[in-house]
Structures are given as C-alpha cells and as structure tokens.
C-alpha cells in the first residue's frame, strides 16, 4: 500500500548501511523525523510515532 504522506517515509535503499550513516540520511531527507539508532538486542517500544524512525 502506498503512503499518503507527501514526504519520504521509507528508505529501502539503506538496508545494509551503517546505522549512523543511515540515520543522517533519513534526517536529511525528512526533517520531520528523528532517526534513532538501536544496537542489536536493544529493547524497543512498540509505540507508533510518526516523528520517529528506528534504525537497526
């Protein structure tokens, strides 16, 4: 299903990219979100937040 959001909200091209680099690209391409890098095994919230992107 295509997003109805007028700004970029998915970054499949960043799969396999270093998390810190990916987070920087995400925040550059969509200034409305905060990209949060999580380390492997880190606990995470299941809360839905349009202003947050979790990067693994």
Side-chain-side CA neighbours of residue 13 (13 Å): 5
Query: Do the domain assignments include residue 47?
Result: yes
pLDDT at residue 1, as a whole number? 43
Residue 3 in this model has a pLDDT that exceeds 90: no
Whole-number mean pLDDT of the chain? 90
Query: Do the domain assignments include residue 26?
Result: yes
Full domain range(s) for residue 46: 12-55
Query: Do the domain assignments include residue 28?
Result: yes
pTM for this structure? 0.81
For residues 28 and 15, what is the distance between their CA atoms, to the nearest angstrom?
A: 17
pLDDT at residue 6, as a whole number? 66
């Amino acid at each position: 299903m295509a997003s109805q959001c007028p700004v970029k909200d998915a970054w499949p091209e960043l799969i396999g990219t270093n998390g810190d680099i990916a987070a920087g690209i995400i925040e550059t391409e969509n200034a409305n979100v905060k990209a949060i890098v999580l380390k492997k095994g880190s606990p995470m919230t299941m809360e839905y937040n349009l202003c947050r992107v979790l990067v693994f």
